[in-house]
Structure 1
Amino acid sequence: MSNRQPNAFHRAFPAREFFRGSARSVLFWSLVNGLLLILLLVDLFLIIDLLDHRGRITLHGEQNVKQLQELRTAPVSLPEGNEQEETVPGPENVQAEAKSSEPKSVPQPEAPPSTEMPQLQMVSLTDSGILPSVWWTHSKYQIGLLPQLYQRVPLLQENQSALFTLICFALVVASIRVLIRWRSRQKSLKISHQVSMTLRNMIHRQALRLGPGDLSGKETEQAFQLFIRDVGTVQQGVFQWVYGLSRHPVTLLILLLFAVSIDWRLSLQCMIPLVAAWYFLLQHRKNYEKEQAKTLVSIESELSLLAENLRSSRLVRGFGMETAEHEQFQKHLEKYTDNIATLKRVEGWGHRVARGLAVFCSCMVLFLVGYKVLVNPGSLPLSAAVLMTGIFAFFYLPVNGLYQLIQTHDESNIAASSIYRYLNQIPAVGQAVGAKFLEPLSQALQFENVSFQLNSHSLPLLKGFDLKIPAGTSTALVSLEKLAPRAVSYLIPRFIEPQSGRVLLDGEDTAWVTLESLRAEAIYVSGNDPCLTGTVKENIQCGDERYSLQEVIAASKEAHAHQFIQNLSQGYETSLGQHGEELTVGECFRLGLARALLRKPALLIIEEPEDLLDEDTKTLLDDAYSRIFQNRTILVIPSRITTLRRVNQVVLIHEGKVEAVDSQSSLLKKSALYRHWEYTRFNQFRHSQETSNER
């Protein structure tokens, strides 16, 4: 069963958000951009038609002449020199011949001057600007917008001024479209940023709920990857989804409608091979991706085998297998070479198929459009044919954009599914209804038959664990299983919950006390934790302004942190974290001790750093421990032998149970298991080996 949630991406960005706020603004500006695209296409048609006809138009028939008269009743008329009489005599010539045949004695009344165009049967005009385009569109669509524009804009009535005007108009429209696309892009980025911030806030809150119980650190790493990588994928997906889905369909629809408006039959004829070619191209792309993935797996396998042979050089030379090994190596090398060649053939074949389909579609469109122009040039001028060809070629961009949008959606959906699976996890620890306030520990800390297991696939870390620690004593927890002492420590402040059993503080079950009072009295300090982002003072206060600077300094002195803090560039106001100063492991650990000591807990749990500490830090810690261990209950997960010698008792945990409880010196004598643990942790050869490895 797939873990992928089918609607995870739409859960992060629901479809209804398209019609709200910034997304609605993006949709509106995309529609405006589509209208500007129509104007740009019309303008390109006029430019191409002007370059084709050069302002020349010839009309035959009295009806066409009358219609031309209607187009030319503009306040600014064409120059009279543009009117040319042809071989077919006009009405004025006929009238002149009639005058010569009448008797001269009969005077003829003078005709009043007329502004009407002579009723010619054929008229030819030159240098008429976009008049040929106006005539063709008016005859085809019977729409008066372009004729009115021609009549009211004198610059369109001559060739040179019309060309200059149309080019300037195209530049203006194209510039406005660029600005609108930039605005839509910024709005889309804003929407994706808002979605990413929402997801990151949710992950942050969930990490605070789940993080304290992360014994192995895997959940913290998962939250980090979700926060950085998966949210970034969803953010990019939302941006592409808003920006692309509001742009590509509008562009595709406008191009299609414009082509259909020129000639719907020809558009349908051209769309058939285009759709068929695109379908076959998609099928080929899917098969190509499968074949490519299979070939890449084979290449990786053969490469691993070739590298594996490098590790067996001692056996080969020792048993005289050079010839056989070389033959085997050559065999795998040939397979590797064949797989590389196969991959190249697959890629080359894919490119050839794509190019072949593109050439085929181009030839089909050119043939259909060219045939239409040759057979019936009056119904489809060359300029319209060129524009239709360009439109069909431009179809590739929005169609390919929609295809890539589907792929982006799938990737974003997978990332969103991982995020929501993490967000849907229920924290194991919660505060009980009616929980009581916990008083400071004064008698004993007790574990009763506690069991804990990380997951169903791992062995139990604790199994029937029983332990009683008197208040005011110091105890070290050790085990061959690294996570077992940490699990015991995490149970006390309820970072994790036992699957069975109870943890008691002075006889009170920790499951029935408030988390705030429990974690105020049982504070966990880990030497592996990083510093918080903020100043040194803020790191120690943890946002609690009730503690004054004097109290912060006092706690720092008790943990031997005051001296190195004063040596920082700005003392207690020095910024720490990713963009601030970096502290050493020992300094960060002492800062954590100061943070805990400021709150004066009755129970202090210390996990010492795993990294090696310098001698000065060890000395300072030993001196700090001599004060910290007084008058409070201490649990420590040691990484230094001196800490083991300092505590009152050492608890040895084995297979989830208490194996032995005694002082370090007594266990060293009585317990072989403890001697083995101490040897593996503290013998000088181990430290020498670690030092050489670090070097």
Structure 2
Amino acid sequence: MSNRQPNAFHRAFPAREFFRGSARSVVFWSFINGLLLAFLLILFFLILDLLDHRGRISVQGVERVQQLQEILASPEPEASVETAEPSEEPAEPKADTDEVAAAEEKPAPEPEPKAAPAAEKSTTTPDRLVLSDTGILPSVWWTHSKYHLGIMKSVYQRVPLLQQNQSALFTLILVALVVASIRVLIRWRCRLRSLKVSHHISTTLRNMIHRQALRLGPGDLSGKETDQAFHLFIQDVGTVQNGVFHWVYGLTRHTVTLAILLLIAVSIDWRLTLQCIIPLAAAWYFLMQHRKDYDLQHARTLVTIDTELSLLAENLRSTRLVRGYGMENPEHEQFQKHLAKYTENLEKLKRVEGWGHRIARGLAVFCSCLVVFLVGYKVLVNPDSLPLSAAVLVVGIFGFFYLPVNGLHELFRVREESTVAASSIYRYLNLIPEVGQAVGAKFLEPMSTALQFENVTYSLTPGSPPILKGFDLKIPAGTTTALVSLEKLAPRAVSFLVPRFIEPRSGRVLIDGEDTAWVTLESLRAEAIFVSGNDPCLTGTVKDNIRCGDERYSLQEVIAASKESHAHQFIQGLPQGYETVLGQHGEDLTTGECFRLGLARALLRKPALMIIEEPEGPLDEDTKTLLEDAYSRIFQNRTVLVIPSRITTLRRVDQVVVIHEGKVEAVDSQSNLLKKSALYRHWEYTRFNQFRHSQDTPIEQR
């Protein structure tokens, strides 16, 4: 069954988010950008048409001549009508009479437009009109004849710069540059808004992972869940963030662009557009199917190549047998056979890649030629319905189709990757912590009698081999106990059960006869504190590291706890003492210093029960000496469980518990176990005997 959840990406970024906040702004500005693209294409068409016709227009037919003259006529100024006072007398009435008389003298006058362009050559008859140097007039005439819209006509009449060739060319190019610049700014704004949306989604997911890690992390015996959370936090959330960004930024932009291009192509000639779209769509579908087959065949060939290469390398390991038994000739023949297969597969891979590129290029050339042929045929057959400038624009539009279509295809690929990453994140977030506080839990008093494990069984996951199986142990209060085992996770599992970082599959853990499953987690973890020498320092000051954000503890109490664990001396040697910042961007501490800081953190709370996991890393001699003195204070009047990494700690504790196959194998002092328990002697030998370690490995920490 697939591990991918189909709705995982939709769960991280629902479709309704497109209509909220920054995503809605991206949709709006993408639509505006699409309108500007349409305007830019219109400008491009006008420039091409101006360069093609050079402002020369020839119209035949009385009706068509009259329509052209209407375009050339300037609109009447509305302001003069609106501002005229009723009491004013008409200005120069005699001039109107003279114009009427002049009109009667010339029975067939050629009406000359009030704002007619300056023409180099013009021919005017009732049924024919030829003008030159008219700017974009040919484009206006074609669009007016085809669409019967008055927008271009009004713009032409009201903008004198568009009525002559040179000024029209300059104006169109200038406006095109301005529009293109505005589109760049809008795309930049959409990109920023999309980044904001993706950042919000990633922040939300990281907050959820952080909360879940706080719930699941304490019970991570092996460290795998912590590594998983770290990987999800950094890489998978980054993949989802990238997918959301491209989904918001790309989906709206490519969709609007594709719609605008298709709309303009259809408006120019819908039959021609349909004739071009159908074969182009078929070619694209064929190319996508071929790409799938190509990717599959390419992957299989790579696997075969890796197999043959492994066989070739494997022969290098059998040289002693070959030379010892005189197998040089058969071995050489076998090697040459695998080498020939390897070479054959390499050639096959090259052919597959070559044919893939050839087919893609061939389809591109075929589609280009097909579009050019269809458009060119339309221009040759009926040039009036499709001028050369419009034909070039149509070809450019179909060529530009590749960008949004390919962008949408890549967009869905990115979404697929994001869906896989989101599925991993939500599988982690759906995990239920095994430890929870019971309803009506009691407050736990400080331990005074005994810590007891009753028939405890624990495994990492249900059905996996148990780490503890029928574990029974009673530790009197006020004693020190070391936990050792050949299985590394067994002592840690026992230690984690006490503060309920993990929950037993069966059995009970009792403190003074109270089942820890029925006491509050806050009171339990205040009296049973776990200190690990392998834990890093928290990001923050030294004082914050020891107080853990609890303002109830004063600086004097922090210093007293630091002195008890022998951390005060090295803290004072730091640049700002207790105000020195630790962590990734602060001061680095040694393993021993981090361990002593952790002991101070625990001693500040004065717990009745301490669980100490000594660091696995090497300690310097000064730290070892200081720890001996610190232990002499910590072990007094307190119950202590130790997971030792130093043999001197084993000699100091009251008893050593040997755990084997999930049960208590032996309980006694270190000296007696050396005499009585072969299992303990084996464990101590494997851990501390110097001849069991290489010279480069730290031996023991005495």
Structure 1-normalised TM-score?
A: 0.93
Among 478, 483, 499, which residue is 1:477 paired with? 483
Counterpart pick for 1:329 among 328, 331, 335: 335
User: Could you say which residue in structure 1 is the equivalent of 2:65?
Assistant: 65
Corresponding residue for residue 40 of structure 1: 40
Q: After TM superposition, give the deviation of residue 119 of structure 1 in Å.
A: 5.0
Corresponding residue for 2:648?
Answer: 642
Once superposed, what is the RMSD of the aligned Cα atoms?
1.8
Matched, 1:632 2:638: yes
Q: CA deviation digits over 1:245-281, x for unaligned, max 9? A: 1111111011001001000011100111101110100
The one-letter code sitting in structure 1 at the alignment partner of 2:68 is: L
Please list the CA deviations of residues 626-673 of structure 1 after superposition, one character each: whole Å capped at 9, or x if unmatched. Answer: 111111001000011000000000000011110000000000000101
SS of 1:55's partner is coil
CA, structure 1 residues 443+692, in 2 after alignment: closer, same or farther (shift >3 Å)?
closer
Partner letter of residue 196 of structure 1?
S
1:17 aligns with 2:11: no
* Equivalent residue number for residue 93 of structure 1: none
1:499 counterpart letter in structure 2: R
Q: Provide the TM-score with structure 2 as the length reference.
A: 0.92
Unaligned runs of 5+ in 1: 77-107
Verify the 8 A CA contact 2:532 2:615 in the aligned structure 1.
Answer: yes
Partners of 2:361 and 2:108 in 1: how far apart? 67
Whole-angstrom distance in 1 between the partners of 2:392 and 2:106:
49
2:607 is matched with which residue: 598, 601, 604?
Answer: 601
Contact 2:467 2:493 in 1 (8 A): yes
Give the alignment partner of residue 540 of structure 2, picking from 527, 534, 538: 534
Q: 1:673 is matched with which residue?
A: 679
Equivalences for residues 425-504 of structure 1 within 5 A: 425-456=431-462, 458-504=464-510
Partner of 1:505: 511
* CA displacement at 1:325 relative to structure 2: 2.9
**CA separation in 2, counterparts of 1:495 and 1:234?**
31
Q: Which runs of 5+ in 2 are unaligned?
A: 77-102, 113-123
1:447-492 deviation per Cα after TM superposition (whole angstroms, max 9, x unaligned): 0000001124532111110000000000000001000000000000
- Is 1:246 matched with 2:266? no
Give the secondary structure class of the aligned counterpart of 2:466: coil
Amino acid in structure 2 at the alignment position of 1:276? A
1:280 to 283, 286, 291: 286
SS in 2 for 1:247: helix
Counterpart position of 1:85? none
Q: Distance in 2 between matches of 1:544 and 1:500?
A: 35
Structural mapping, 1:148-547, within 5 Å: 148-456=154-462, 458-547=464-553
Q: Tell me: CA distance 1:119–1:464, structure 2 relative to 1, closer, same or farther (3 Å).
A: same
CA contact 2:60–2:127 (8 Å) conserved in 1: yes
Q: Is the 8 A contact 2:50 2:135 kept in 1?
A: yes
Match of 1:554 among 548, 551, 560: 560
Verify: 1:579 aligned to 2:579, yes or no: no
Q: 1:208 to 1:159 in 2, by over 3 A?
A: same
Greater shift in the superposed pair: 54-63 or 362-371? 54-63
In the alignment, residue 299 of structure 2 is paired with which amino acid?
A
Partner of 2:83: none
Change (3 A) 1:190 1:692: same
Pairwise CA distance, 1:310: 2.9
Alpha-carbon distance in structure 1 between the residues aligned to 2:307 and 2:614: 44
Taking a change above 3 Å as real, the CA distance of residues 294 and 116 of structure 1, as seen in their structure-2 partners, is same
Distance in 1 between the 2:403 and 2:564 partners?
Answer: 69
- 1:97 matched residue in structure 2: none
> Which segment drifts farther, 425-434 or 321-330?
321-330
Q: Give the Cα separation in 1 of the matches to 2:302 and 2:550.
A: 56
SS of residue paired to 2:697: helix
- Do the aligned partners of 2:485 and 2:491 also contact (CA within 8 Å) in 1? yes
How big is each residue's C-alpha offset from its partner over 1:484-517, in whole Å with a ceiling of 9 and x where there is no partner?
0000000000000001110000000000000000
Q: Secondary structure at the match of 1:591?
A: helix
- Could you report, residue by residue, the CA deviation over 1:401-453 in whole angstroms, capped at 9, with x for unpaired residues? 11111111111111111100000000000000000110111110000000001
> Percent of aligned pairs with the same residue?
79
SS of 1:450's equivalent in the other structure is strand
Structure 1 CA distance for aligned equivalents of residues 560 and 308 of structure 2: 64
Q: Which shows bigger deviation, 60-69 or 598-607? A: 60-69
Pair 113,286 (structure 1): closer, same or farther in 2 beyond 3 Å: closer
Where does 1:67-86 land on structure 2 (aligned, <5 Å)?
Answer: 67-74=67-74
Residue by residue, what CA displacement relative to the aligned partner does 1:78-119 show, whole Å, maximum 9, x if unpaired?
xxxxxxxxxxxxxxxxxxxxxxxxxxxxxx974599782465
Change (3 A) 1:111 1:127: closer
